[in-house]
Chains A and B, each alone.
Chain A
């Protein structure tokens, strides 16, 4: 990446963080972990396109630099602006959700990023949750990551309130307060089955949701 582009990406990143702070007064609640630079997979609930920038914004700079969100290529490659934001501001690991169109295995790309030492932000529900349930069933990816990298902390991360701040289809964001809660890290047990682990991870994440349902 050339220097001017990198500066532009840094500047855009700062802008996104300031915007997130201003609109939602976004705050991190480190319940189960300390904000220290350790390799982690932050797995979060997904109700809005703003989820990933919120988590990214509350990470302290040292952690943010080593953290890459896993995001959908079809969304982040659509326009030049999104391409710039996805690839250079967030340095996302872009994966293709459409099995018929893709040329590389998404799981292999994710594992390669972990191999390089990056921390990741993932949304194990796979899609934005528009329904009344707090969480959709998790995809298997989280389990595969935990299996392949048993030392990496899998951190449940609850983003509260974003679905009211910017529901799908609305144009104006409401300046409500958004809180990102980090829970205690999980690891896949010695002989834990995929379904048992995913159920445990889902329960750990749901437990971080604020008691008040607004």
Chain B
């Protein structure tokens, strides 16, 4: 049997799965941000006419999937798997989304790294010829995440400048064995890294080592330089985490400064509320689906490295004094 692995952690596709379509839907604050015009749908309220934040999030995810399917011109029956994840306990947004479709469902949790995990797994399924089309999607909702991870939404409190704002957003992509669109070239699945950060309001510091490790391994495995990529996109280290991550990589001899951007920083105008930037599974999902997919499709970039980073803590683990384990998965995507 021939294996398609390179180095310690990277899987390379001989026949590259195609990202056939992508769709992004966002809440009002994200719609007012610098990328507002790029999204397929901007909701005017965070409740979306539903009776709870959780229902609103699930609806948002469903609409992203519907839009991605419509753009690809595909029927529900043509999709072999739907892979989705979100931040809520027992990933309910994804499960309640999936019950609306007659498609086999794989639920995943990677916190903010969910989107690249989903794209990677979808690409594996297609490359292994277990699927013709796969949908990968993820979402987050500011208020739903806030009540689960922090405080009730109407409770007045200040956040430190390292705190991040969970995005109200969802993104979905359709992967196919063939078709026109950007192609997944390689996937580097990250290892969980924990450098002893226990402060949930400082996720950038916690996630930076995971990001640096995965990016470093990707470059080693592929025998490449940062110059081989037009863009290295992290999601979502925030502005402080980004500086830390770039310095960590510089110390390993990799300078990505001139081509690195962070999805959490791109999504919002700076403000004390947003803090260091956006976060949540929906943040990098909507930035990729709304902006980067189109730019790859239009060949504005030749090759990008999408590195979503996730902090894998829970409120319980933090209250019990545990430190925050973090993971990052890198997906190398070429235009087409």
Partners in one complex: no
